[in-house]
Every structure is written in C-alpha cells, then in structure tokens.
Amino acid sequence: MALCRRSPVASYFLGLTSGAALSLLAFNFFSSELMYFAKPNDVYYGSRALLTSHGRVEHVREENEELMRENTYKKAIHVNATWAPRCNKHIFFSADPKSGLPTVNLNVTEGRRHLWAKTKRAFKYLYEHELHNFDWFYKADDDTYALVENLRFMLMGHSPDAPLSFGCKFKPFVKSGYMSGGAGYVLSRESLRRFVEEALPNKTKCKGSDSAFAEDVEMGKCLRNVGVEPADSRDYQGRHRMLPLAPTVHMNANGTLPKWLMSYMFYPYRKGSQCCSNYVVSFHYINTGFMYTLDYFIYKLSLFGSHHEHFQKYGAVNSTIFERATAFARSYSQVGNS
C-alpha cells in the first residue's frame, strides 16, 4: 500500500483534523482508439477500470480498481504511472492475473456486452469489502485524467452519508440526468449502499440483465430509482469541473465542438476557457502521451514566486486551516450563490 502524495497544505489540514473523513472511488473504463467526435453511446463500449480513494484524518487513502480485457492493461500502466500512484491503494479488476498490476478477478465474461455486469459486480465488491473504509467512490475511464486533489476539494463540503452523485451531467435517456462515464462519476457511501442494497435486488428499480445499452445510462436510472440526487459538480461561477472531452477541445474557443456535446450537456456550457473551472477534476479522451504531459504541467512545472493562500480569508477568525479550507470549498461550489 503506497502513501498518497499530497501538497504540504493538504497534508497539514488533513493531518490536524479529528474525525474528518474524505474517501473517493473511481472506475476507469478501457476504450481503445475511440474518437471524441462520436456520441457517448457510440463509444461507451470497451474494457473498464475502477479507482478508489480515501482520505481520513492523518492520511488520504485511495484504491484503484480496473475492469480490463485481455492486453488492455497496457493502457492501465500509464494511468498507474501518472495519477493513480497518488492514491494509497489501487486494485485492477481484471480477468488477467498476469497483468503485473494488483488485480481482482470478478469472474465476468470478457467483452463489451458485459460491461454493465462488470460494473455491478465491481460496485458490489466495494460494498462488501470497502463500504466502511471509504466515503466516496469515483468511476472514470482509463483514458480519463483526474486531479485527485481537486476531487477531494469538490467533495469537502458534502456529507458521504447523503445520497449524492457527482460528475459531468448528461440529459438524454434519464429525466433527472445521469453522469457521463468518461468524465467519471462519484457516488457517496450512502449512494453505494442504496445501489447495492435497494437497486440491484429490485428489477423494477435496476435492470437485472447483464447486457445494457450503456453502463453510465443504466447506472443513472438505478440511482434515480433509489433517490440518489445527481448533484451539480460545477463551481460557483457555473464552470464545469468534470469534462467529457480533452482540454485541447474544451479550451479552443474557435474550434469545432462535437455536434452531440451541446445536446447532451445538462447545464449551460460556455466555449473557450470559461467552460472550465480553475479547479477542474477530470478530462476525458486523454491518450497515454498526453497523460504524461498533463502530469508534468500540473505537478512538476512551477512558477517562481507563486504562493497558494486561496482559503486564508474564509471561516471565522480562530478557524483551523481545515475549517477555512472547508468553508472555501463550500463557497466555491455554490453555483449562483443559491
């Protein structure tokens, strides 16, 4: 089990806090050579992966679980070489124990028709083995790049005991919206409990068949039917934090966006740099080379003289640094101050 890499500030306030817990779980689904100009339902097939993370008091612990086809673990190696090692623990769900990665065999038939089955069994595995060890469970594709620190920041002002899910909210197929699998979605501990205890056993609430049109759509339906709220992951300015495409696409104000994007996005979307929050959590369709590029720019490139003190003015005069950071996280997440 590896130690989670943190910024000194994050280490400080997490280390001083008593009784505070912050845990994340994520699924990374494998998708070979998929183009972002295709509709999500056209590209959801592929092998998938799962990542989890956990932050509690003195340490932040994370676990990565991936659903893989034969040989697709090669993409997971690059996830493992960039952002995954910042978690304390990671597990890959795979039928191939020779992958060289820590694996759990779900005993599910390989192939695109069985992704929904893999997802259900992976969540059930987490429910049985990790429910009380983690607070938040985050799922993402293997070509997703996630900034785990910003994911923790987004969740700081929310309770894992509330039935919540976070992600890039899409509007087709599910009336209340569902979270895009590519950008990754987060389930609270209570949401995981409801999914396994209330949704899965009831075929009227959750599809019993192991085949499905799209795993993320089915998950959205199941969660809706057990009262899990698809929360707003945008920041207080309405800028998106979990993005379904690569940053090179989202940031190009004069570029051509996929035709499906505007019709799928649940919330208003602004082109160019105003699309995205300063505290972005995830991007999708990141090839392996670009993963290393992002990793360098985010974690290694520094500006001389820069100093982070964003949350010093938040909270009461005698607030601890964790209380100030939590107050900042809550205020930053209040879209339109509502």
Identity of the amino acid at 189: R
**Which secondary structure element, helix H or strand E, spans residue 49, and what is its range?**
strand 48-56
The reported pLDDT for the residue numbered 338 is 43
The reported pLDDT for the residue numbered 189 is 94
User: Quick one: tokens of 39?
Assistant: 């509709």
**Which secondary structure element, helix H or strand E, spans residue 153, and what is its range?**
helix 148-155
Q: pLDDT per residue over 95-108, tens digit each?
A: 566 777 777 888 88
Helices 115-130/215-225 angle, 10° precision = 50
Which residue in the block uniquely carries the two structure tokens 């209040």?
334
Distance CA 101, CA 66 (A): 10
Distance CA 234, CA 224 (A): 20
**Which secondary structure element, helix H or strand E, spans residue 193, and what is its range?**
helix 189-194
Q: pLDDT per residue over 120-146, tens digit each?
A: 998 999 999 989 988 888 887 788 899
Closest alpha carbon to 211 in 93, 108, 115, 121: 115
Closest alpha carbon to 159 in 127, 190, 192: 190
Distance CA 56, CA 6 (A): 13
**CATH, range 8-301:** 3.90.550
Closest alpha carbon to 22 in 216, 195, 186, 228: 186
Do 147 and 281 touch, CB atoms closer than 8 A?
yes
**CA atoms 34, 39, 44, 49: torsion sign:** positive
Start-to-end CA distance of the chain, whole Å, equals: 41
Distance CA 22, CA 136 (A): 7
Give me the residue spans of the domains in the chain.
8-301
Provide the residue-wise pLDDT of the chain in tens; the chain has 338 residues. 333 333 333 322 222 222 234 555 544 444 333 333 334 444 333 333 344 433 332 233 344 444 445 445 677 888 888 987 776 667 777 656 677 777 788 888 766 677 888 889 989 999 999 899 888 888 877 888 999 889 989 999 899 999 999 999 999 999 889 999 889 999 999 999 999 999 999 999 998 787 777 889 999 999 999 999 899 999 999 999 999 999 999 988 677 788 899 899 999 999 888 899 999 999 999 999 999 999 999 999 877 666 555 666 777 778 887 888 888 888 888 665 44
The reported pLDDT for the residue numbered 146 is 92
Closest alpha carbon to 192 in 156, 215, 165: 165
